[in-house]
Structure 1
């Protein structure tokens, strides 16, 4: 029905929006994030390794060059000093060593003729001067420590070095003690230039890492688009297939996994279309068979009905012309003929619903008068209580409303307990529907039967396959409610008995208007159910 189809369309549109949101913010984002993380990890690892290798190479090269110059200058100048030199002599030698080296400061320490320790630096600048306090204690200890002479160590003293940071400036500090007596010499070289080169290298590697991350994001976006486009087409095709467009197919190109998936989808869609076509053909053939059979049965049934009516009149006549021995058989024939006639009429009505040819013929009706007429026509006035105010008008199909009421009330009288109460309620201001409740005072409907009360030909007990009803009454009532845009629900009252609630719109004219626009579908568009408690 229109309400159900509108709900499906709304749900489908919402699902499409949600899936699109998920597709563009989840899978695509995850691909970009994964690509970015992989690229970032690779770039950071490569940059870190490159920085570490270059740092070691730059520092080792500068360090080796400075220490080699210091050792060379030490051998060239300190060896010419006289024993126990004065401070001035030490200062002159230190300056010569510093001038010959690669921009490093020199500090010389020795004893003068009086046995006092004297020291001299290559610079006397108070800010940039090089003194003994600038030499780490651990380095002084290592320089002054005499090593044991072994086959692997032929000299008691060696050149030692250490990297230190003074303020923000890195320095290389080295020292050595003259073998055979003489001054102890220390050198200090600024590594600031090398640090600047390494900082420039770090910035370059950082920029390269950022550019690689941006490039990987762009590459991930392109790759995600390439990968997701077939997936998106598959999703659209699946939704179209779910909407009933069974001729939907995907264009297959390539030989990769996505192409195989597209081929599999096409095969599945083709198989589904074939099966649905076969089922539709069989269903159409079944509907035609039931319709043709019902029409064929009507002609002999008309004649049989006429004969049974004559026989019934003879039974009711006062002359008593019917033999009492065959009277029960005659009454059985009359009863079964009526039942068969009702079954044929119900089958013809069901085929009209299934074929979608059932139509509404609307008229303004007073609901209370309509219910009263239904009860009076079937002589149910003594068994039915009516709670309905006159003047509640609705634009409905009177004949179909009568069918609904007759089936609900008849079902309550047959399977429930008297009295049967019919009440009418109007919806609130925001609800334009009418609610008609039919309640009996019987034992109620078993919980396992409730989901099936509207199934066609459903019997509540397998041991009672045959009953007076056709098993189509409640199903037809439900279809007539659906064609109005309404519904019927079944439940058990807490006070006892079963309650059937019929919800109908006050005006069914918009349904006919939409039907004329091709939006209203009628008949067996929803699951239908049969009577029986």
Structure 2
């Protein structure tokens, strides 16, 4: 649930609770006031009318006399019905109602009749033996007030029946009015919540947008700050953090650029003396049989280390091109099986590699860079896993998949996340190896420039499996070789013919 919706919901719930509570209190206060006023007016009028109209009756009136008195009592402005009960001349008792169809003795609750006829002892705190009692009842779904009292001194017992239907209608109108007011309060709270949410969340939204732009690399992103509240302080903190981050990134970028320039310049500067040294070592290698046996091992060491240094310089130059973004693809439609076979044959690996690839699988890619990837993956498998190495080529949807599997001990789980890291050595105690530790990282960069990926895993049957996935067709436009060493002449391919470098396992 969004923050805006939660804020509006909280506002609505608070407003609803407040409106319902206020409406309920107002309703019950008005209800009590209306009913009490009507009830008191009717009972006071009934008490006075009972005294006035029964005081002139004889001690034992006749039934018509009771009826006449009841009719007179019912004719007041309070509009209630009257029932008088008394002993009459000739014996027996008479019940005289003002409306025989509506008000009879059966309408009066039994508990009320008992209370009216119960004589209480007269004391200092109770001056009269009989009192006026009342009760609210419902007849045929309509509310009524029933009251009763006995005339002191042997007079009749009188009851009244007052309709409360008008009061109920008034209270229903009041309830509807309060309900409408509650609804309006709820709508008003929703609008207020919307306004408050917009006021509060707009700076938060701007802060979120600024944070996304900052995450996308737009380090010059800043927020306009106004006010002195907490959100303004947060915006100022964001601006300070963004400014500090921009300065830090500029410093790191400058250092990184300087490092790349240093590596590139160093590699170029080393090529000239290395060319001369390589020529000399080739001559020494050709004359190795004629050299003193005591000198021959030293000459062979110089030759191998010169070649290794030359490979390292070429690899560093290729890495520099990737870091600088100057590496380019020279695309061509190639038969993948022929390309893999050519890579294996050029390095004399035919006896150590099993190839499972059908001819006719065509793909648009850079043949030289594919050769670099395959040389590094297969060479790494041969060096660390031993032969036979199995290379399988297949297609999956619009992708080309090449799996290189060895039958060695596999890759330790703590090494797997780092096999493509530059200069990573699996054993810190043996930092020196035949490779430079750049082979697999160069292979991965060459896969990325094609829009592909390389993954490393351990096979359940033993051994390591490197999986190269490349698109069979690419949207990257073929560009001519601009002299950056990415052409097919083998310069800077990360692996010279006959060798392959990978991160040591």
TM-score by length of 1: 0.87
| 2:492 counterpart residue number | none
- Conserved? CA contact 1:457–1:530, under 8 Å: no
Deviation at 1:492, TM superposition (A): 2.3
- Conserved? CA contact 1:455–1:530, under 8 Å: no
1:498 aligns with 2:464: yes
| 1:382 counterpart residue number | 351
Deviation at 1:403, TM superposition (A): 1.3
| 2:398 counterpart residue number | 432
1:71 aligns with 2:44: no
1:348 aligns with 2:317: yes
**Gapped runs of 5+ residues in structure 1?**
1-21, 516-528
1:246 aligns with 2:219: yes
Deviation at 1:474, TM superposition (A): 1.0
Counterparts of residues 312-391 of structure 1 (less than 5 Å)? 312-316=285-289, 320=290, 322-391=291-360
1:299 aligns with 2:275: no
- Conserved? CA contact 1:458–1:531, under 8 Å: yes
How many residues are paired up?
485
Deviations 1:360-402 (A, max 9, x none): 1122323233223222322223323333333333322122122
| 1:281 counterpart residue number | 254
Match of 2:130 among 149, 152, 157: 157
Alignment partner of 2:160: what SS?
strand
1:127 aligns with 2:101: yes
- Conserved? CA contact 1:301–1:341, under 8 Å: yes
1:87 aligns with 2:63: yes
Q: For residues 72 and 355 of structure 2, what CA distance do their matches in structure 1 show?
A: 127
Q: For residues 198 and 448 of structure 1, what CA distance do their matches in structure 2 show?
A: 79
Alignment partner of 1:512: what SS?
coil
| 1:199 counterpart residue number | 172
Moved over 4 A (4+): none
Q: For residues 441 and 512 of structure 1, what CA distance do their matches in structure 2 show?
A: 39
| 1:519 counterpart residue number | none
Q: For residues 402 and 100 of structure 1, what CA distance do their matches in structure 2 show?
A: 117
**Gapped runs of 5+ residues in structure 2?**
481-500
Q: 1:143 to 1:448 in 2, by over 3 A?
A: same
| 1:209 counterpart residue number | 182
- Conserved? CA contact 1:474–1:530, under 8 Å: yes
Deviation at 1:514, TM superposition (A): 11
Q: For residues 38 and 84 of structure 1, what CA distance do their matches in structure 2 show?
A: 67
Q: For residues 191 and 491 of structure 1, what CA distance do their matches in structure 2 show?
A: 88
Q: For residues 197 and 388 of structure 2, what CA distance do their matches in structure 1 show?
A: 70
Deviations 1:226-285 (A, max 9, x none): 222122212211221221212112221222222122122222222222222221111111
Alignment partner of 1:421: what SS?
strand
Deviation at 1:513, TM superposition (A): 6.9
Considering fraction of residues, name the structure with more helix: 1
Larger mean CA deviation between 223-232 and 37-46 belongs to 223-232
TM-score by length of 2: 0.92
Q: For residues 383 and 131 of structure 1, what CA distance do their matches in structure 2 show?
A: 119
Deviation at 1:468, TM superposition (A): 0.8
- Conserved? CA contact 1:452–1:530, under 8 Å: no
Match of 1:139 among 102, 105, 112: 112
Deviations 1:464-519 (A, max 9, x none): 110011111111111111111112222223333222222222233x112799xxxx
| 1:474 counterpart residue number | 440
RMSD: 1.9
Match of 1:233 among 197, 203, 206: 206
Q: For residues 332 and 497 of structure 1, what CA distance do their matches in structure 2 show?
A: 32
| 1:525 counterpart residue number | none
- Conserved? CA contact 2:329–2:479, under 8 Å: no
- Conserved? CA contact 1:435–1:501, under 8 Å: yes
Larger mean CA deviation between 436-445 and 182-191 belongs to 436-445
Deviation at 1:101, TM superposition (A): 5.1
- Conserved? CA contact 1:107–1:120, under 8 Å: yes
Q: For residues 305 and 513 of structure 1, what CA distance do their matches in structure 2 show?
A: 34
Q: For residues 362 and 70 of structure 2, what CA distance do their matches in structure 1 show?
A: 120
Deviation at 1:530, TM superposition (A): 5.8
Deviation at 1:326, TM superposition (A): 1.4
Q: 1:98 to 1:390 in 2, by over 3 A?
A: closer
Larger mean CA deviation between 381-390 and 497-506 belongs to 381-390
Q: 1:148 to 1:358 in 2, by over 3 A?
A: same
Q: 1:482 to 1:109 in 2, by over 3 A?
A: same
1:455 aligns with 2:455: no
